[in-house]
Amino acid sequence: MPTFAELKKDLRKLADPKRAEILSRFFKTGPGEYGEGDVFLGITVPTTRGLARKYRHLGLPAAAKLLRSKIHEERLLALLLLVENFQIASEPERKRIFDFYLRHTAYINNWDLVDLSADKIVGGYLWRKPRGTKVLAKLARSCRLWERRIAILATFQFIKNGKPEETLKIAKILLRDEQDLLHKAVGWMLREVGKRDQALEASFLKKHYRQMPRTMLRYAIERFPRNERQKYLRGEI
């Protein structure tokens, strides 16, 4: 079976300096930006997914090493390894992966890292658990931007499994968040609620849309009829 050393060699072989430069700008790695100091190799997400499948057998030990890396794609690969293993794991092993994930949120520090893993692992573990609401509410009140994004993205799994109320609870906590990256994430999840139950989303929006940042509202109402969108944006609902 391929080894961890071979995994590292594969990563270096796949590096693309020109793409790395583009990604560095796209993920805002400059001074004072949300991804400040992040380092990219220039590997695409589909390619990284392929590596996660190839090296899935290396499991949590490999993920633990990669997640502490300063290199973005290595952290992403760590999370995709966790996702791959979570999907085939027993319940005790799923809990182990879930607990590991929450202990290492300091390294899950960009929006793509959150978006490609939070609903699969955090949401995947919690959506059937009675304590799910408390765990996500605690994350939603974190001082860390990325833990708050984990909280709302994790609710995607609840939406997919017919429990959209969890998204509404977390969205309510985050209504006044100051970060644009949270505005987009909350609006996105509200839109996903609406795809399945537009009346439920509309009921939530009518109560709260005046409190929402503009970006959050625009994302949330994207699938509404044009005339209804305009009413929301003019504050006429």
Q: Which fold has domain 1-108?
A: Leucine-rich Repeat Variant (1.25.10)
Which amino acid appears at position 118 of this protein? A
Joined tokens for residue 112: 């793509």
Q: For the structural domain made of 117-237, what CATH number should be given?
A: 1.25.10.90
Cβ within 8 Å of residue 10, ≥6 positions away: 51, 54
Domain boundaries, the chain: 1-108, 117-237
195-227: pLDDT as tens digits: 999 999 999 999 999 999 999 999 999 999 999
Q: Which residues, 6 or more positions from 93, have their beta carbon under 8 angstroms from its beta carbon?
A: 85
Per-residue pLDDT tens, the chain, 237 aa: give them.
899 999 999 999 999 999 999 999 999 998 989 998 999 999 999 999 999 999 999 999 999 999 999 999 999 999 999 999 999 999 999 999 999 999 999 999 999 999 999 999 999 999 999 888 899 999 999 999 999 999 999 999 999 999 999 999 999 999 999 999 999 999 999 999 999 999 999 999 999 999 999 999 999 999 999 999 999 999 998
Beta bridge partners of 39: 71
Q: Which residue has 């270096």 as its token pair?
A: 12
> What whole-number distance in Å separates Cα of residue 81 and Cα of residue 100?
13
CA distances from 85 to 21, 56, 88, 193, 222 (A): 31, 7, 6, 28, 35
Domains 1-108 and 117-237 share a fold: yes
